[in-house]
């Protein structure tokens, strides 16, 4: 049971809350919390989770909205794709890690 509490805390620690009170998790922050060290591997999980979301009748664009984050890359900066995952989307992604 203690491991589940630690997992929950790790998940809640990276949660963001919008001004309207809605919660979301950045996929790039969720990846290491689910023990993915490479975005390329976790992006496949996100893809499977999107399919599961669509198959369940949910809107992928609502549960997995794409965002671009500017990151520093040496002397320049460039946009990187990320997603603002709803709690539902985060849960599906977590379940998709075992597929």
- As for how many domains the chain has, the answer is 1
Look at residue 3 and tell me whether its pLDDT is greater than 60: no
Quick one: pLDDT band at residue 99, thresholds 50, 70, 90? low
> Each residue of 31-89: pLDDT tens digit?
999 889 999 999 999 999 999 999 999 999 999 999 998 877 777 888 899 999 999 99
CB 86 within 8 A of CB 63: yes
Question: Which domain covers residue 31, as residue numbers?
Answer: 2-96
The pTM assigned to this predicted structure is: 0.85
**Residue 7 confidence (pLDDT):** 77
Phi-psi bin for 41: left (phi > 0), alpha (psi -120 to 50), beta? alpha
């Amino acid at each position: 049971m203690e491991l589940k509490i630690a997992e929950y805390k790790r998940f809640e620690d990276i949660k963001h809350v919008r001004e309207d009170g809605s919660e979301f998790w950045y996929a790039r922050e969720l990846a290491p919390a689910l023990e993915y060290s490479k975005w390329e591997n976790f992006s496949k999980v996100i893809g499977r989770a999107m399919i599961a979301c669509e198959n369940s009748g949910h809107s992928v664009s609502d549960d997995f909205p794409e965002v671009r984050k500017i990151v520093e890359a040496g002397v320049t900066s460039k946009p990187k794709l990320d997603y603002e995952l709803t709690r539902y989307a985060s849960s599906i992604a977590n379940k998709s890690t075992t597929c």
